[in-house]
């Protein structure tokens, strides 16, 4: 099922997703490693256990069917992944850094949003109780033991620009895949291969410029937030203002809110229901906004999201 999120002006691309020339086709922002998040949260979560009775593809963290189609997939510019379906993020930064975190399954602690509106989704995590999970397993959001997502130590990433290309290989021990872009220019195509699946963004794409006229203000206080208002000068279509707001670090588990608004809209209103549940213990821990050009590809394992990102702001007025 096609679960990519498309901008309003780009809905027609949905029909072409599985028939592109290349073939059919995851906190601080952005999550550098979902695995690190999972492992750190395990220290505060209850011990896992129970039978590993989930079938492939049935729930959070489940692997795909072994016979799944691993044909190369072309990423769709402007599309984003649903967080519950996301298996990886490829990140190109304003500092000419590139990083790919692609896992073998979806995040076992993320499922459908607890609340959503046109721009934001709140994902609420509740610690589950399990018994007798293996050392390489974790208790998922449905209280089943499941394998901890892992990266492919044989993965590789190719960056292309103007006919030239640069290839980076994953660390053979950890699967970490990152480096600095050494190619000339400021627009790049990217291709990542992990677990036998290749995802390509063919269109050479650049990190967007800072949005002008930008302001962002907290309504209420950090321990009792009522919402966040952001505004800026409308930009050409094709990029988004984005934020991922984690729950206070004293909480156990990855509850978070993600918001993305088309940059040509010129404003974003994050409602109280999206921030109030995050302001536990010592209050709201807002990280900042990013200006991003997205692309995404839906694969048999899940969705891979590509981000060309610039830090727009850090913190908020009023905190």
69-121 pLDDT tens trace: 899 999 999 999 999 999 999 999 999 999 999 999 999 999 999 999 989 99
Burial class (CB in 10 A: 0-12, 13-18, 19+), 66: exposed
> Is residue 185 in a domain?
yes
**CA 48 to each of CA 133, 229, 254: distance values in angstroms, whole numbers, following the listed order:** 5, 40, 17
State the pLDDT at residue 127.
Answer: 81
φ, ψ dihedrals at 37, nearest 5°: -60, -45
> Is residue 180 in a domain?
yes
pLDDT in tens, 251-306: 867 899 999 999 999 999 999 999 999 999 999 999 999 999 999 999 999 999 99
- Percentage of the chain lying above the pLDDT 90 cut: 72
- pLDDT mean over 232-244: 97
- pLDDT mean over 165-179: 97
> Is residue 163 in a domain?
yes
> Is residue 15 in a domain?
yes
> Is residue 59 in a domain?
no
- pLDDT mean over 153-166: 98
For tokens 């039978």, the residue is: 51
> Is residue 63 in a domain?
no
- Number of domains comprising the chain: 1
> Is residue 3 in a domain?
no
State the pLDDT at residue 126.
Answer: 83
Q: How confident is the model at residue 68 (pLDDT cuts 50, 70, 90)?
A: confident
Taken in order 98, 191, 290, 299, the sign of the CA dihedral is negative
> Is residue 61 in a domain?
no
Higher pLDDT, 18 or 121: 121
* Strand 177-180 relative to strand 97-102, pairing: antiparallel
Using CA atoms, how far apart are residues 92 and 71, in angstroms rounded to an integer? 24
- pLDDT mean over 221-226: 95
Using CA atoms, how far apart are residues 183 and 181, in angstroms rounded to an integer? 6
Beta-carbon contacts of residue 214 (< 8 Å; ≥ 6 apart):
230, 231, 232, 233, 289, 312, 313
Range of the domain at 258: 8-52+69-314
pTM of the model: 0.82
State the pLDDT at residue 36.
Answer: 38
State the pLDDT at residue 37.
Answer: 40
* Mean pLDDT score of the chain: 84
Using CA atoms, how far apart are residues 108 and 114, in angstroms rounded to an integer? 16
């Amino acid at each position: 099922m096609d679960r990519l999120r498309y901008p309003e002006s780009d809905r027609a691309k949905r029909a072409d997703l599985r028939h592109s020339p290349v073939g059919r086709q995851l906190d601080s922002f952005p999550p550098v490693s979902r695995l690190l998040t999972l492992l750190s949260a395990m220290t505060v979560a209850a011990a896992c256990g129970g039978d590993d009775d989930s079938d492939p593809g049935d729930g959070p963290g489940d692997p795909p069917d072994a016979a799944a189609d691993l044909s190369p997939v072309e990423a769709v510019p402007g599309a984003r992944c649903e967080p519950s379906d996301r298996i990886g993020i490829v990140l190109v930064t304003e500092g000419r850094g590139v990083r790919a975190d692609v896992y073998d399954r979806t995040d076992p602690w993320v499922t459908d949003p607890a609340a959503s509106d046109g721009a934001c989704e709140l994902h609420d995590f509740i610690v589950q109780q399990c018994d007798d999970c293996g050392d390489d397993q974790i208790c998922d959001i449905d209280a089943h033991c499941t394998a901890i997502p892992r990266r492919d130590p044989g993965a590789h990433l190719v960056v292309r620009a103007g006919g030239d290309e640069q290839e980076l290989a994953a660390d053979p021990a950890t699967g970490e895949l990152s480096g600095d872009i050494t190619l000339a220019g400021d627009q790049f195509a990217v291709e990542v291969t992990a677990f036998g699946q290749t995802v390509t963004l063919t269109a050479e794409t650049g990190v967007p410029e800072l949005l002008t006229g930008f302001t962002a203000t907290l309504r209420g206080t950090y321990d009792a937030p009522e919402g966040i208002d952001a505004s800026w000068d409308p930009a050409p279509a094709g990029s988004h203002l984005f934020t991922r707001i984690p729950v206070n670090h004293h909480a156990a588990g990855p509850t978070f809110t993600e918001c993305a608004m088309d940059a040509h809209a010129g404003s974003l209103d994050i409602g109280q229901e999206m921030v109030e549940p995050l302001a536990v213990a010592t209050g709201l821990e807002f990280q900042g906004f990013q200006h991003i050009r997205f692309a995404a590809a839906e694969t048999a394992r899940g969705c891979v999201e590509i981000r060309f990102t610039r830090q727009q702001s850090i913190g908020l007025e009023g905190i």
